[in-house]
Amino acid sequence: MNSVTKAMLALLLLLASCRGGVKKSGEGHDFPQIIEQDTLRVLTLNTSTSYFIFRDQPMGYHYDLIREFCREHELVPEIIVAGNTAGMLDMLQRGEGDMIAYNMPVTNALRDSVLYCGLQQISHQVLVQRALRGDTLVTDVTGLIGKKVTVTEGSRYHDRIVNLNNELGGGILVDITYEDTIVTEDLIRMVSRGEIDYTIADDNLAKLNQTYFRNLDVDMQVSFDQRSSWVVRRDMPLLADSLNSWFENKTDEPVFLRIIKRYFEETKGYLESDRPSYSDILGPGVISPFDPFFKQQGRRLGIDWRLLASLSYQESTFQTEGQSWAGAIGLMGLMPATAASLGVTGDHLYDPEMNIRAGAEYLKQLLNIFGTIEDDAERLKISLAAYNGGIGHVSDARALAEKYEADKNVWEGNVEKFIQLKRLEQYYTDPVCRNGYFRGDETINYVRKVISRWELYKEKVKE
């Protein structure tokens, strides 16, 4: 424990005495005890905006914020995933966690049992609509009269559109989907693809998905503002004070702004028209400026160099200095932790030769991990899925495939199907799964595009 942390602990103990005396050991648990134990137990939900695993690394807006708080106080965040908000509150009151890092609605009913603190936001529901050239945007709720708005049955968005329709005296065509395999993010994707016209979502969820689908407009508010906050128990005021103090001092600092940008501003999807085609630019038989490195590693590891080139193109479009929203770096899109396990760290990640070497070795590792899959083509597809989404989610999907009597050694229609189903609670909470929620569409597209581009390269470029 360094001098800053010791000073903070002394101050907290002093504050506690001003509040009526420090509780004896066993009588209470607040921030001084948390600092002594070096661990902050954090309750949250497994969602695309709070906490999830991607490329075998923990991520999420709420997770990143609490990790920064813990880093400043030299604490280890212990993430405890609950099933729902009611379950989180019960676990908090039973002492199974120190705090909830999630958008808990601010209500009078809860004020007697919790302290609202830390991240405090004002949110609302918005209309999700396409914004392509020539589209006429709805800019006022009255513009929804005569329009079809699709929502999931029994959701708060369903309740809101019905209430809004009543407020307007009718006229909105409320389209309800009753399928339990469709969630709000599926409807947002369907709006982007033109399969439905409109849906409703919370603004933070809509903004996150807008970073994947650039043809969406999510600016029109359709509900009143709702306050939300992190919470702690009422008998942990020092933790509440510390969280409040941290946010008051951090909201304008680069670390906080960087986290907001990562999840709600930085583009995650792309248009194929954005991607250059190097196979036609550099001359016959040349895919990229880095072909000698792909060939070298391909020969060394027994992997077709054109496959390595296709994977690199999908990861970075051959941009050596690039870094994805998730933190994947360089030509082969390596996560720093993965690269470090292969002996590549720091600025070396941006060195084309070293990045390609590490990326090729990682793909070879994955092919070996899934070595029990006898069919080479299937083993490659499943390994590529793990390269993109992480070994954990692919292992979960294979376990689900086996449980539901599909073929865990076949990608299309089998493992692929369960990768996609891991966005649904009934699947990612299945006892055979260990890695929770997963947004699988991007991984499915990744496998398809790497394989199809590899086939194209094989046609155009000699080995």
Strand-pair category, 99-105 with 114-123: unpaired
Q: Over the chain, what HEC string results?
A: CCHHHHHHHHHHHHHHHHCCCCCCCCCCCCHHHHHHHCEEEEEEECECCCEEEECCEEECHHHHHHHHHHHHCCCEEEEEEECCHHHHHHHHHCCCCCEEEEEEECCHHHCCCEEEEEEEEEECEEEEEECCCCCCCCCCHHHHCCCEEEEECCCHHHHHHHHHHHHCCCCCEEEEECCCCCCHHHHHHHHHHCCCCEEEEEHHHHHHHHCCCCCEECCCECCCCEEEEEEEECCCHHHHHHHHHHHHHHCCCHHHHHHHHHHHCCCCCCCHHHCCCHHHHCCCCCCCCCHHHHHHHHHHHCCCHHHHHHHHHHHHCCCCCCECCCCCECCCCECHHHHHHCCCCHHHHHCHHHHHHHHHHHHHHHHHHCCCCCCHHHHHHHHHHHHHHCHHHHHHHHHHHHHCCCCCCCHHHHHHHHHHHCCCHHHHCCCCCCCCCCCCHHHHHHHHHHHHHHHHHHHHCCC
In this structure, what are the phi and psi dihedrals at residue 279, rounded to the nearest 5 degrees?
A: -65, -25
Catalytic sites, residue numbers: 315
Placement of tokens 């000073």 in the chain: 7
Placement of tokens 């379950």 in the chain: 87
Between the two ends of the chain, the Cα-to-Cα distance in Å is 57
The answer for residues whose C-beta is within 8 angstroms of residue 43's C-beta and 6 or more apart is: 80, 82, 88, 91, 92, 96, 97, 99, 100, 101, 102
